[in-house]
Amino acid sequence: MKLSEQTETRAKLWPGVLIALSLITAGCASSPDSAQSTQSQKPLSDPIYAVGCSTTLQPEHQLELDLVDSLMGDAQSYAALAQLESMSFDTQYHWLRWAQLLAQVDQVDDSEDAFRAIVHTCGSYEAHHGLGVVLVKQGELKEALNMLATAKDMSPAASGVRNDLGYALMLDGQYGRAAFELRTAYELAKGKGTVKQNMIAAYYLNGGEAALSELRRDVGLREDDLTAGKQVAKNVLGGRP
């Protein structure tokens, strides 16, 4: 699956993705005292977890997240998860990365629980996006599309969100809508990442070779781009029920 592979900023997560997490969580609009009591709670420290929604990054938080991001960038997801679970979990970004990493180490059910808790507590577009991606992985397309559409409405210029929404629309057979979302994602991302191949696939599925010829003239695609995009289209068709 060609889902978003990296966050667009330090505050944005996937792509496009998590320890039996209770959904009995404290809301973001809590009192200062209750907010302070939840911020230092780690996911493994109590059977009832309180998700923190803070988006304020102190220098020490940035150092922690930079370490996790570096390991994730080197495809060391297990090490990244181990390092993260030794940290403070003082910000929402720690929780989002935890949920994402659980999916990357094949703990997809736990990833879903974690993202649902963050959606329930914080309601951020990043949490909706992450949950949508996990639901795509699980084949729950209807709910996935709702989550990804909500994330897009909350942050319409997030290329990763529109890329993953477009891919999910392809899986659902909505090729015209997928082409629109993926062309938008392609321009927002300036052609970087997997979005190019996904866009080509959507155009090909929606209009065949004629659509690809027009797209090639518009954006200047290479032959290897077209070949890779057609392979994505074949994968999409092979994965449809």
From 76-80, 135-139, 182-186, 235-239, the region with the lowest mean pLDDT? 235-239
Distance CA 223, CA 161 (A): 27
Distance CA 58, CA 103 (A): 27
Given a cut of 70, whether residue 240 has pLDDT beyond it is no
Scored b (16 or more CB within 10 A) or e, 202-214 reads bbbbbbeeebbee
Are 115 and 92 in contact by the 8 Å Cβ rule? The answer is no
Q: Residue type for 228, please?
A: A
Choice between 7 and 106, residue whose per-residue pLDDT is larger: 106
Q: Which CATH number fits domain 1-155: 2.40.50.140, 3.90.1150.10, 1.10.238.10, 1.25.40.10?
A: 1.25.40.10
Task: Name the more confident of 79 and 30.
Answer: 79
The residue-averaged pLDDT of 22-36 equals: 35
Residue 49 banded pLDDT, cuts 50, 70, 90: low
The pLDDT, as a whole number, for residue 8 is 39
In this predicted model, which residue has the larger pLDDT, 136 or 20?
136
pLDDT reported for residue 32: 36
For the ranges 15-29, 176-190, 198-212, the lowest mean pLDDT is seen at 15-29
Query: For position 13, what pLDDT does the model report?
Result: 41
Choice between 21 and 102, residue whose per-residue pLDDT is larger: 102
Element (H, E) at 180: helix 175-188
CA gyration radius for the chain? 19
Which two structure tokens, joined as six digits, stand for 158? 């997030």
User: Mean pLDDT, to the nearest integer, of 97-124?
Assistant: 94
- What is the pLDDT, as a whole number, of residue 237? 92
* CATH, domain range 158-241: 1.25.40
Q: Cα separation of 134 and 157, whole Å?
A: 21
Q: What is the pLDDT of residue 43?
A: 56
Number of residues that this document lists for the chain: 241
pTM (two decimals): 0.79
Decide: residue 73, CB within 10 A, 0-12 exposed, 13-18 middle, 19+ buried: exposed
Return the higher-pLDDT residue of 126 and 35: 126
pLDDT tens, 164-181?
999 999 999 999 999 999
pLDDT at 48: 43
Per-residue confidence (pLDDT) for residue 191, from 0 to 100: 86
100-111 pLDDT tens trace: 999 999 999 999
Whether 158-241 and 1-155 are alike in CATH topology: the answer is yes
Average model confidence (pLDDT) for the chain?
83
Q: Report pLDDT for 238.
A: 86
Give the pLDDT confidence score for residue 88 in this predicted structure: 83
- Domain spans in the chain, listed from the N-terminal domain onward: 1-155, 158-241
